[in-house]
C-alpha cells in the first residue's frame, strides 16, 4: 500500500508488448483490463481533492485523493470497503513469490531476514500430497 499511494502517472507505460507499472526499477506487466482502467484514471482522475505535487515539480499522482486516502491505511480501508481485502492479497502474493524465487532473493526483495525467507519458501513448497496424507491420518 505504501508504494501504491506514491505511484505517479509516469510509472505507467504502454508499448507494443503491453502495459506496465514500474515499481522502483521493475516494470510489471498488467492485465489488459487493469491497464484500461489505469489509462481511464490518468485521462480522467476521479478524486474529491487534488492533492498533487506543485505544478511543474513532477508528474501527478496516479491515484490522487483526499489527504486521508493518500496514506496507506486510508487506501487499504477504501479497497476493503470495495470488497478488495489487501491483507489476503498481500499474503497470497508473498507466498507465490516465496515459491518461485530463491530465499536470498525473497529476503532482499521484502527486507526480511534470510531465515524468514527460508521458512516462507518451505511453507510455499508444501505439497497437497503432504496435506492429504495428514488428513487421512486424522480420519
Per-residue model confidence as pLDDT tens digits over 35-92? 998 898 888 876 555 555 556 666 787 877 665 556 777 777 777 887 777 777 778 8
pTM above 0.85, yes or no: no
For residues 28 and 22, the answer to whether their CB atoms sit within 8 Å is: yes
Query: Confidence band (pLDDT; 50, 70, 90) for 122?
Result: confident
Alpha-carbon distance values, 60 to 1, 17, 51 (Å)? 18, 25, 9
Alpha-carbon distance values, 124 to 28, 54, 91, 93, 132 (Å)? 22, 45, 11, 11, 16
Amino acid at each position: 500500500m505504501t508504494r501504491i499511494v506514491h505511484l505517479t502517472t509516469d510509472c505507467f507505460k504502454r508499448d507494443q508488448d503491453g502495459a506496465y507499472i514500474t515499481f522502483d526499477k521493475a516494470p510489471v506487466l498488467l492485465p489488459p483490463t487493469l491497464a484500461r482502467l489505469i489509462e481511464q484514471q490518468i485521462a480522467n482522475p476521479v478524486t474529491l481533492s487534488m492533492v498533487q505535487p506543485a505544478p511543474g515539480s513532477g508528474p501527478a499522482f496516479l491515484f490522487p485523493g483526499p489527504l486521508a486516502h493518500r496514506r496507506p491505511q486510508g487506501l487499504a480501508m477504501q479497497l476493503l470497503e470495495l470488497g478488495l481485502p489487501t491483507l489476503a492479497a498481500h499474503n497470497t502474493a508473498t507466498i507465490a513469490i516465496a515459491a518461485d524465487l530463491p530465499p536470498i532473493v525473497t529476503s532482499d526483495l521484502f527486507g526480511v531476514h534470510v531465515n524468514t525467507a527460508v521458512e516462507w519458501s518451505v511453507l510455499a513448497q508444501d505439497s497437497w500430497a503432504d496435506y492429504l496424507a495428514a488428513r487421512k491420518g486424522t480420519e
